């Protein structure tokens, strides 16, 4: 019978859980989602995680083996303890998410890492960065996250937050970030903040979906907002590549689909950033795993522990 990992992905608007096999395939019928959000209480968030996890575990086939649980969480996180403090979920500060999930898989290992790290591992394992050793995985969604693999190994740092590119400051921008700083990539380029910028300039829609539709229909403000986001992401990637020499950046997350050419716009911002070839050679690609990327990445914490360290 097949071996599975319980994969959990915690983000600013939802939590998902599913069973993922050793080939990176999400088991049909095991994927379950519950809403989160910045106004949720701690108890509501815990209930959402518990519901998604128990529903996913209920789909474990008879005779199959559950090897452990992997959790990808929006940052910041607290080292390898399993505690989380996601910026966009203010009710959870130093919350023991790892312990909460462990209650549902007694006796099995539970590993938690930042969601950007999970995306990076997923892309190297099964996605658009297979065969690569110097990779950044990125999420552009409710927030902006990132994770690094350099020399074939995950770089997590002492607090687990290395690669959290959403809080790199971008030259030329002064948008105030919820983290307390100004000019952070997340404050400029995330879905909600891009919509907010568009609304400040006359756009009347309310969601990323509205922005996408308006841009496709020729709305110049919507298009400018999307280009602004992509340009900021490209500048952040260029700075990251100048620092650590990245070959490939794989981008996923819901807002990365806001326009058909979003990834191309990011890539163009990198390609025209400077005259340094070691920066401009960085390839920007779309996630090869579509919407399954975060869950596959969480499962990789179990199935590809060799990359995690």
Q: What is the pLDDT of residues 182-214, one digit of tens each?
A: 999 999 999 999 999 999 999 999 999 999 999
Mean pLDDT of the chain: 94
| Inter-residue contact 266 to 258 (CB < 8 Å) | no
How much of the chain exceeds pLDDT 90, in percent?
88
DSSP 8-state assignment for residue 110:
E
Residue 80 pLDDT greater than 90, yes or no: no
Tell me: cis bond preceding 76? Omega within 30 of 0 counts. yes
- Kindly state the average pLDDT of the residues 224-248: 97
Q: What is the signed CA dihedral for 184, 147, 297, 192, rounded to 10 degrees?
A: 10
Beta strand 83-84 pairing with 144-150: unpaired
| Inter-residue contact 300 to 137 (CB < 8 Å) | no
pLDDT of residue 49: 98
Q: Please report the DSSP string for 125-184 in residue order.
A: HHSTTTT-SSEEEEEESSSEEEEEEETTEEE--TTS-TT-GGGSB-TT--PBPTTS-BSB
Going by pLDDT thresholds of 50, 70 and 90, the confidence category of residue 1 is low
For 55-81, b where at least 16 C-beta lie within 10 A, e where not — what string?
A: bbbebbeeeeeebbbbbbbbbbbbeee
Distance CA 252, CA 254 (A): 7
Provide the token pair at 158. Answer: 């002492």
The domains of the chain, with CATH numbers, are: 3-114+301-308 (3.30.420.40), 128-287 (3.30.420.40)
């Amino acid at each position: 019978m097949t071996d599975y990992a319980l994969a959990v992905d915690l983000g600013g608007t939802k939590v998902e859980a599913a069973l993922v096999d050793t080939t990176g395939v999400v088991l049909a019928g095991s994927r379950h989602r519950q809403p989160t959000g910045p106004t949720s209480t701690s108890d509501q968030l815990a209930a959402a995680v518990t519901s998604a996890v128990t529903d996913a575990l209920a789909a474990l086939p008879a005779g199959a083996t559950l090897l452990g649980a992997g959790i990808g969480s929006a940052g910041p996180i607290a080292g390898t303890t399993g505690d989380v403090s996601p910026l966009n979920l203010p009710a959870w500060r130093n919350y023991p998410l790892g312990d909460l999930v462990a209650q549902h898989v007694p006796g099995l290992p539970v590993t938690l890492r930042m969601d950007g790290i999970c995306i990076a591992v997923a892309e190297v394992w099964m996605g658009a960065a297979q065969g690569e050793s110097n990779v950044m995985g990125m999420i552009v969604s409710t927030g902006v996250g990132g994770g690094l693999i350099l020399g074939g190994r995950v770089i997590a740092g002492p607090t687990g937050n290395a690669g959290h590119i959403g809080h790199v400051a971008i030259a030329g921008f002064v948008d105030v970030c919820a983290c307390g700083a100004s000019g952070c990539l997340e404050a400029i380029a995330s879905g909600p903040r891009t919509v907010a910028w568009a609304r400040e300039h006359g756009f009347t829609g309310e969601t990323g979906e509205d922005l996408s539709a308006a841009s496709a229909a020729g709305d110049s403000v919507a298009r400018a907002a999307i280009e602004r986001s992509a340009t900021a992401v490209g500048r952040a990637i260029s700075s990251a590549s100048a620092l650590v020499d990245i070959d490939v950046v794989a981008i996923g997350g819901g807002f990365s689909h806001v326009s058909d050419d979003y990834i191309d716009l990011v890539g163009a911002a990198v390609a025209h950033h400077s005259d340094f070839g070691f920066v401009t050679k960085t390839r920007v690609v779309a996630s090869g795993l579509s919407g399954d990327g975060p869950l596959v990445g969480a499962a990789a914490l179990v199935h590809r522990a060799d990359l995690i360290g």
